């Protein structure tokens, strides 16, 4: 952790992924840690805060989530483009040293038995809400957010501050074939005249 690592109120946790970023999903079970990229993650509910993420049946991270009942959703930055693409295209089953080769550094948060990816803009610790039909039929997992943190250089006072941070802090948005966009400039709707 670092000086800019700060908790986010759970009532604002949905704001960490509401803008549709590609996320990193990490999990731990039986002494095994893994991280994968996921393009399909979405805020689901406010109180308690919940989110959804699609985890393919072939993903080793999915098995760790199913076994442990816990996972972390992280918002990687443009500076982590190669890391994000690497963990999204390589399998732990085929590359046992995947995390090291992709440049992943993990850290722990007291009270959480989860692997957190260093260098991200935000982290959401989740408890799996078991929905066997959705998981089997649609690869759709629901997580209740039990803790949320963000880097204050880019998220503070309950809001993203992309326009005030350097371009390396922008979130990634996956399209296809190794092609990503970084979040763009803010647009604000002017207040209506009464």
pLDDT 10s digits, 41-88: 999 999 999 999 999 999 999 999 999 999 999 999 999 999 999 999
Residue 160 CA to residue 42 CA, distance in Å, equals 16
HSE toward the beta carbon, residue 21, CA cutoff 13 A: 30
Distance of alpha carbon 157 from alpha carbon 171, whole angstroms: 18
Distance CA 23, CA 21 (A): 6
**Architecture of domain 5-182 in this structure:** Roll (2.30)
pLDDT in tens, 120-178: 999 999 999 999 999 999 999 999 999 999 999 999 999 999 999 999 999 999 999 99
What is the DSSP secondary structure assignment for residue 105, as one 8-state letter? -
**Is 141 in contact with 101 (CB distance < 8 Å)?**
no
Report CA dihedral (80, 84, 86, 87) to the nearest 10 degrees. Answer: 130
**Confidence class of residue 193 from pLDDT cuts 50, 70 and 90?**
confident
**pTM score, two decimals?**
0.95
Distance, in Å, from the CA atom of 85 to the CA atom of 59, rounded to the nearest integer, reads 15
CB of 120 closer than 8 Å to CB of 106? no
């Amino acid at each position: 952790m670092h000086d800019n690592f700060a908790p986010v109120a759970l009532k604002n946790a949905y704001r960490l992924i509401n803008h549709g970023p590609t996320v990193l999903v990490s999990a731990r079970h039986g002494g095994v840690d893994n991280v994968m990229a996921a393009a399909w993650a979405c805020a689901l509910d406010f109180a308690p805060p919940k989110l959804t993420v699609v985890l393919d049946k072939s993903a080793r991270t999915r098995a760790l989530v199913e076994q442990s009942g816990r996972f972390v959703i992280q918002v990687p930055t443009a500076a982590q483009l190669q890391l994000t693409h690497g963990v999204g295209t390589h399998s732990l089953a085929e590359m046992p040293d995947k995390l090291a080769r992709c440049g992943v550094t993990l850290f722990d948060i007291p009270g959480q038995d989860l692997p957190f990816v260093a260098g991200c803009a935000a982290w959401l610790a989740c408890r799996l809400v078991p929905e066997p039909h959705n998981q089997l039929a649609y690869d759709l997992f629901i997580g209740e957010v039990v803790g949320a943190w963000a880097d204050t250089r880019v998220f503070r006072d309950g809001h993203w501050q992309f326009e005030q941070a350097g371009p390396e802090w922008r979130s990634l948005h996956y399209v296809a074939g190794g092609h990503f966009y970084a979040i763009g400039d803010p647009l604000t709707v002017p207040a209506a005249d009464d």
